[in-house]
Amino acid sequence: MSGIQAHMKIALVTGANKGIGREVARQLAAKGFHVFIGARNRSAGRKAADEIAKKGGKTAFLEIDVSDNNSVAVAAREFVKTSDHLDVLVNNAGIIVDGDHAILEIGDELLRKTLETNTLGALRVIRAFVPLLAKSKAPRVINVSSGGGQLTGGADGWSPAYCISKTALNGVTSQLAAALPKFAINSVCPGWVRTDMGGRSATRSVEEGADTIVWLASEAPQDLTGKFLRDRKEIPW
């Protein structure tokens, strides 16, 4: 693990071993951030951190399973061993569970598992890292949501548990923005992106999917908070 220079901003991206999370981490590292690659899979997380570092970025791997309270607590304790603050938290980790096909057919356990990661996972990571974010001059939190979570035109029958979890995540975002007025806390719809989750037929590249997230992490006004955005513009949810 390389040392963190005093002038560098620090970011933590969950689910950063692949897909949108990895691309967000890569772009932030290219912008001069020291990026913690958060992942529950040790080998995949370390590989992603090493590959970004080989291209000149400053990275560190942080093992974290957002669905597990103990894992998140341990991750926060590990984090403070190398950094005394956090500037940007990107809650990107998310799942779609097999069998998430029809709202009247999904069982309680499938819905709980989805909410545990996609909604409660983001909230528990924020709770654990708020003391570190509060030490930043401009703390920012970006929750990676989905257009499927929109109440207006969002539901089309696709993966209802996943979509419900993202609607709830937008609600978490709104509540946190009210509770933490000095923070910039927003949700993002990255669009339909060509990842393992989105599939090869998706209309957007990972670079396009990451764009608004990276913008919110690095360039957006600090007073932009409590919003749901796509392509750097507020959209209804």
Residues tagged active-site: 162
> Rounded to two decimals, what is the model's pTM?
0.94
What are the helix (H) ranges across 154-205? Answer: 160-179
State the pairing for strand pair 88-91/34-39: unpaired
203 Rama class: left (phi>0) / alpha (psi -120 to 50) / beta? alpha
What is the CA 219 to chain-centroid distance, rounded?
17
CA-based max dimension of the chain: 53
| Domains observed in the chain | 10-234 (3.40.50.720)
Instruction: Please report the pLDDT score of residue 5 as a whole number.
Output: 65
Give the tens place of pLDDT for each residue, 39-70.
999 999 999 999 999 989 999 999 999 999 99
Give the tens place of pLDDT for each residue, 75-108.
999 999 999 999 999 999 999 999 999 999 999 9
